Structure 1
Amino acid sequence: MKPLKLAVVSAGLSQPSSTRLLGDRLAEATERLLAGRDRPVEVRVVELRGLAVDIANNLVTGFPGATLREAIEAVTEADGVIAVTPIFTASYSGLFKSFFDVIGNTALAGKPVLIAATGGTARHSLALEHALRPLFSYLRALVVPTAVYAASEDWGTGGDARTDGLATRVTRAAGELADLMAGRPAAPEPVETVIPFEQQLAALRP
């Protein structure tokens, strides 16, 4: 069976990054759950930190460079996307938003997306619902019900009587993404359309 494609978009700025770590944990859980259904997965990680200049140039010129184009294709051709951002000033990072600004408005339509974020304190967790979920709803993606937020104190904890631990939330969200991906046919291989030179020349004639 043709492998499903899973793209992980990480907007972490530091190295190592807790944002990338959360993305990796979500990807591993999703891959494991799909493997249990005999659905192989190819995971592609898109680190926005190294694409910042390319993204800015694309916003100014309207044309992506080769590296940015490959990153955009990894996301738009995926069967599922995990999008993770650090929270700055109660919202997603500017780099995160700029990347999705250069992707076509219809490119994520119907695509399963798991949203996640990291931050210093739990009080920023609502940014997932008032910032990230509306963004991907506008792009007409299928956003999974469970969004995963990881504050500094969440790493290595098991939760308490009122809240689930991070590992539980990761597993639940990954399960929801795996359900949506398993229900989709694998994304077709891109086919490059070649327009004959005569046809291109004819289009330029008055």
Structure 2
Amino acid sequence: MKLVVVTAGLTQPSSTRLLADRLTAAVTRRLEAGAPAGALAGPLDGPSPEVDVRVVELRDLAVDIANAFVTGFPNGRLRAIVEAVTEADGLIAVTPIFSGSYSGLFKSFFDVLDNTALTGKPVLIAATGGTARHSLALEHALRPLFAYLRAVVVPTAVYAASEDWGGGRDAFTDGLGERVDRAAGELADLLRHRAPHREEPEDTPETVVPFEQQLAALRQARQ
């Protein structure tokens, strides 16, 4: 099973990459542990799948992405990443929040993808920011973006503000760890029960009956 993690953090170390790593570890742990007791049977039930994780740091691809917009096509390195995302069974996408929305680098990368690259693909969306006030950017910016790309986005989106890294919680809000685990479980369930890819049947060539034969058959039917 191929899982691609796209992270748009700009600094090193990056809280965006840290959140991506926590989500990846949680999803991998859920998949390799197998289906929970009482779960419905699905196409991937049985032996736990081996998870092949590929992490994509968009910071390292910034120049390649810009050149793709100028030249009209991605270079070899960016093309390999695009193919990896397209062929992945699932995707984790994490961005920092700037001015109440995803970063320009994050959006530019997904603009490079073909419009059908994420069709039907399970996606977990997440973001980091300095304040919890920007958490709704996941719902008004990221979720519509992936809905437009026809991806299947898990119900729980994970936002980590600066204060979340202490692991605290109050009476009204789940802690970051709980949100990570819940979102990871949702993505793992989608991946585990995702229908296997089937080749589309080839179109049967249409038989064209010459007009003369159609006219002759019509005359014979009237007699």
Which interval holds the TM-score relative to the shorter structure?
0.7 to 0.9
Unaligned 5+ residue runs, structure 2? 35-47, 199-223
CA distance in 2, matches of 1:163, 1:179: 24
Superposed, 1:146-161 pairs within 5 Å as 146-161=156-171
Match of 1:57 among 50, 53, 67: 67
Equivalent residue number for residue 193 of structure 1? none
SS state of the match for residue 4, structure 2? Answer: strand
CA distance in 2, matches of 1:27, 1:73: 20
When normalised by structure 1's length, the TM-score is 0.87
Query: How many residues end up aligned between the 2 structures?
Result: 185
Equivalent residue number for residue 40 of structure 2? none
Equivalent residue number for residue 30 of structure 1? 27
SS state of the match for residue 94, structure 2? Answer: strand
Give the Å deviation of 1:27.
0.5
Give the Å deviation of 1:186.
6.1
Whether 1:13 aligns to 2:1 is: no
Contact 1:5-1:187 within 8 A present in 2 as well? no
Whether 1:123 aligns to 2:120 is: no
Whether 1:107 aligns to 2:127 is: no
In structure 1, give the amino acid aligned to 2:125.
Answer: I
Superposed, 1:192-203 pairs within 5 Å as none
CA distance in 2, matches of 1:99, 1:187: 25
1:88-138 per-residue CA deviation (whole Å, 9 max, x = no partner) reads 000000000000000001110000000000000000000000000000000
Superposed, 1:174-189 pairs within 5 Å as 174-184=184-194
Give the Å deviation of 1:66.
1.1
SS state of the match for residue 77, structure 2? Answer: helix
For structure 1, which segment, 135-144 or 176-185, has the greater mean C-alpha deviation from structure 2 after superposition? 176-185
In structure 2, give the amino acid aligned to 1:133.
Answer: R
Bigger radius of gyration among the two: 2
1:28-87 per-residue CA deviation (whole Å, 9 max, x = no partner) reads 000000001112211000000000000000011111111111111121111000000000
Contact 1:144-1:176 within 8 A present in 2 as well? yes
- Work out the percentage of aligned pairs sharing the same amino acid: 75
Calculate the aligned-residue CA RMSD, in Å. 1.2
Unaligned 5+ residue runs, structure 1? 189-206
Contact 1:23-1:82 within 8 A present in 2 as well? yes
Give the Å deviation of 1:156.
2.4
Go from structure 1 to structure 2 and tell me whether the alpha carbon gap of 1:41 and 1:88 turns closer, same or farther (over 3 Å shift). Answer: same
Contact 1:79-1:187 within 8 A present in 2 as well? no
Equivalent residue number for residue 143 of structure 2? 133
In structure 2, give the amino acid aligned to 1:122.
Answer: A
Whether 1:85 aligns to 2:82 is: no
